[in-house]
Amino acid sequence: MKLFWLLVFATITAVCRATGYTIETSQPRQTIRHFGASDAWSMQFIGLWDNKDEQEKIADWLFSTENDAQGQPKGIGLSVWRFNLGAGSAEQGKDAQINPGTRTECFLTKEGTYDWTKQPGQRKFLQMAKQRGVPHFLAFLNSAPVYFTQNGLATNTGRDGTINLKDDCYDDFARFMATSLKGLEEHEGIHFDYLCPVNEPDGHWNWLGPKQEGSPATHREIARLVRETGKALIQQGLTTQILVDESSDIRCLLGTHETDWQRGHAISSFFSEDSTQTYVGNLPNVPHLMAAHSYWTNTPVPYMRKIRERLRDTCKKYGIKFWQTEICIMSNDTEIGGGQGYDFTMKTALYVARVIHHDLTYADAESWSWWRACGGNYRDGLIRVYEREQKARDSKLLWALGNYSRFIRPGAVRYEVTSKKKENPYGLMVSAYKNEDDKWVCVAINYSDKSQDFQFSLSNKEKHSWHVYRTSDAEGENLKPIGICKGKTKLSARSISTFVEK
């Protein structure tokens, strides 16, 4: 009988071990720099609302790292805020050939002077982010100021795939960016750590008007602009780093995708010394990393992993890092019905959490940002805003991002997680991190419709207790603290749980 029970115990132990997860404490991966979102295009309006309470609520949701008296996080603690540096389409009015909601003001006037009262709504949210402790800021542009563009507009209006910038205005554009960042630092007290001079220059849609600001650009044009921008930043005494090249699609980093050779193979173009016309890896203010967007590559699900593993390996080959700087739901995200119609539920939240997991664990992304912080009746905003009523409503998507951003802080290191159970992108997905304070964080996504037994441990045999925070479709479960566990628990159906070392 004793032998029988020993066999039963051994079988149970083997099963638990087979379905458990191990954080491999001797296998560090990438350093996590930050999680973020952008102020485009909503903050220019929200920042001017008369309803100050709603503004404060939005800012708390996005930026706060405080908890209430019950230990409930007040916000998702974004650690990088992307500021859209405007091109002046708003001042053009209807002549801009751009929809009113996506036009932007410009600090530079047509007389050549600077007006630091421009972009007041966005500047207000810069301050609200700073007040709540956001440590990093990034400026990005969709277009050069309209005074410098070839067609006098901030949209491409069907031109070819070259940059919408006059040939003799590269230095003017660079000075504008450097002067704007210097002015914001002097007038707002905000230092911009990063600058993206172009945005989605390889977009195959060629930035057709009249939807929004934007311009294509070839790699040679980008390299020329980056070199001029680097000089302008140094002249202004700024330590801001220049990011390239905010590609619209991971596939454009690795080859040509619905464009030609001039806008493909971005990694090798910018970071191979053999690419003499476009190499920028020798510039002092250009970090060795590629910034790109995860649009269009999230389906089919097996392909999502495959393309990211290829990206990771290519980045390693050229000695660079990868930052995922923008994504929202698009028409090809058919698993959840595409982007039309705002979704407050876990349907979109889980879908995006799976993308975050793949970007972090298979592409080794050091930074991860959503597109718009706030939006309307489309799945591009973390927060749904009602402009006429000056009201805002949170979403499960917001809090799902918070399962990562609130607890995985700048400087954290991701560690490998192993299991005898093969990862199921429709079931459990697990990742682990160690913050600079030496506290561990583990995030577990349960994509399935059933609750799942979950057990995890550290490979170095250290024993810890864990605070558990859960986001699910249950009422009020938005990073809700649900108690303490010892590394063994049950994950609710269709939920995201974060375990923070006590």
Going across the sheet that includes 440-446, the strands are: 480-485, 466-472, 495-501, 440-446, 428-434, 412-418, 21-32, 452-458, 488-491
Task: Please tell me the distance from the alpha carbon of residue 129 to that of residue 374, in angstroms, as a whole number.
Answer: 14
Question: b/e string for 259-283 if b means 16 or more Cβ within 10 A?
Answer: beebbbbbbbbbbeeebeebbbbeb
Q: Are residues 336 and 463 in the same domain?
A: no
Q: Are residues 354 and 460 in the same domain?
A: no
Q: Are residues 153 and 260 in the same domain?
A: yes
For residue 401, what is the enclosing H or E element? helix 396-405
Q: What is the mean pLDDT of residues 166-178?
A: 98
Residues constituting the chain: 502
Q: Which residue has the tokens 């996504």?
A: 445
β 367-375/381-386 pair status: parallel
For 23-119, where are the alpha helices, taking DSSP H only? 43-46, 52-63, 89-92
Q: How many CA within 13 A on the CB side of residue 155?
A: 23
Q: Are residues 349 and 480 in the same domain?
A: no
Q: pLDDT, tens digit, for every residue of 102-130?
A: 999 999 999 999 999 999 999 999 999 99
Whether 163 has a pLDDT exceeding 70, the answer reads yes
> Which of the four pLDDT bands, split at 50, 70 and 90, describes residue 1?
very low
- pLDDT value at residue 252: 96
Whether 367 has a pLDDT exceeding 70, the answer reads yes
In eight-state DSSP terms, residue 289 is: E
Q: pLDDT, tens digit, for every residue of 460-490?
A: 999 999 999 999 999 999 999 999 999 999 9
> Which of the four pLDDT bands, split at 50, 70 and 90, describes residue 7?
very low
- pLDDT value at residue 13: 42
Task: Please tell me the distance from the alpha carbon of residue 198 to that of residue 361, in angstroms, as a whole number.
Answer: 27
Cβ count within 10 A of residue 118: 20
Residue finishing a domain among 390, 418, 446: 418
Residue 14 lies in a domain: no
Q: Are residues 276 and 382 in the same domain?
A: yes
Average pLDDT, the chain: 94
Lookup: tokens for 435? 């913050």
Please report, for the domain that includes residue 176, its CATH number.
3.20.20.80
Q: What is the mean pLDDT of residues 168-189?
A: 98
> Which of the four pLDDT bands, split at 50, 70 and 90, describes residue 210?
low
Whether 168 has a pLDDT exceeding 80, the answer reads yes
Residue 172 lies in a domain: yes
Which candidate, 126, 121, 155, 152, places its Cα nearest to that of 139?
Answer: 126
Residue 11 lies in a domain: no
Q: pLDDT, tens digit, for every residue of 424-449?
A: 999 999 999 999 999 999 999 999 99
Which candidate, 271, 177, 285, 196, places its Cα nearest to that of 241?
Answer: 285
Lookup: tokens for 495? 């939920």
What's the Cα-to-Cα distance from 70 to each of 54, 74, 157, 482, rounded to whole Å? 22, 11, 53, 11
Q: What is the mean pLDDT of residues 357-361?
A: 98
Q: What is the mean pLDDT of residues 380-404?
A: 98
Whether 333 has a pLDDT exceeding 50, the answer reads yes
Residue 13 lies in a domain: no
Q: Are residues 333 and 453 in the same domain?
A: no
Residue 39 contacts residue 24 (beta carbons within 8 Å): no
Q: Are residues 456 and 320 in the same domain?
A: no
Helix (H, G, I), strand (E, B) or coil at 433: strand
Q: pLDDT, tens digit, for every residue of 397-408?
A: 999 999 999 999
If phi > 0 it is left, if psi is from -120 to 50 it is alpha, else beta; for residue 170 that is: alpha
Which candidate, 35, 123, 41, places its Cα nearest to that of 75?
Answer: 35
Residue 374 contacts residue 43 (beta carbons within 8 Å): yes
Degrees to nearest 5, angle at CA 406 with 191 and 54:
75
> Which of the four pLDDT bands, split at 50, 70 and 90, describes residue 5?
very low
Question: b/e string for 454-491 if b means 16 or more Cβ within 10 A?
Answer: bbbbbeeeeebebbbbbbbbeeebbbbeeeebebebeb
Residue 162 contacts residue 156 (beta carbons within 8 Å): no
Q: pLDDT, tens digit, for every residue of 211-239?
A: 789 999 999 999 999 999 999 999 999 99
Reported pTM: 0.95
β 412-418/391-393 pair status: unpaired
> Which of the four pLDDT bands, split at 50, 70 and 90, describes residue 18?
very low
Dihedral angle sign, alpha carbons of residues 448, 452, 458, 462: positive
Whether 2 has a pLDDT exceeding 70, the answer reads no
Q: What is the mean pLDDT of residues 88-95?
A: 97
Q: pLDDT, tens digit, for every residue of 248-295?
A: 999 999 999 988 899 999 999 999 999 999 999 999 999 999 999 999
Lookup: tokens for 324? 């995922």
- pLDDT value at residue 207: 63
Q: Are residues 446 and 381 in the same domain?
A: no
What residues have CB less than 8 Å from 202, skipping those under 6 apart? 216, 245, 247, 248, 249, 252, 257, 259, 263, 264, 266
Q: Are residues 440 and 405 in the same domain?
A: no
Q: Are residues 39 and 133 in the same domain?
A: yes
Strands (E), 42-201: 80-84, 136-140, 194-196
What's the Cα-to-Cα distance from 164 to each of 142, 149, 222, 238, 289, rounded to whole Å? 11, 5, 11, 26, 25
- pLDDT value at residue 83: 98
Q: Are residues 383 and 305 in the same domain?
A: yes
Q: What is the mean pLDDT of residues 493-497?
A: 98
What is the percentage of the chain residues whose pLDDT exceeds 90? 92
Please count the structural domains in the chain: 2
> Which of the four pLDDT bands, split at 50, 70 and 90, describes residue 206?
low
Residue 333 lies in a domain: yes
Q: From the CA atom positions of the chain, what is the Rg in Å?
A: 23
Please report, for the domain that includes residue 453, its CATH number.
2.60.40.1180
Range(s) of the domain holding residue 479: 22-26+427-501
Residue 5 lies in a domain: no
Residue finishing a domain among 386, 418, 450: 418
Q: What are phi and psi of 7, to 5 degrees?
A: -65, -40
Whether 157 has a pLDDT exceeding 90, the answer reads no
Please write down the HEC assignment for all residues of 359-398: HHHCCCCCEEEEEEEEECCECCEEEEEECCCCEEECCHHH
Q: Are residues 356 and 441 in the same domain?
A: no
- pLDDT value at residue 134: 98
Residue 128 contacts residue 59 (beta carbons within 8 Å): yes
Residue finishing a domain among 383, 418, 453: 418
Residue 6 lies in a domain: no
Helix (H, G, I), strand (E, B) or coil at 199: coil
Residue 375 lies in a domain: yes
If phi > 0 it is left, if psi is from -120 to 50 it is alpha, else beta; for residue 88 that is: left
Task: Please tell me the distance from the alpha carbon of residue 55 to that of residue 52, in angstroms, as a whole number.
Answer: 5
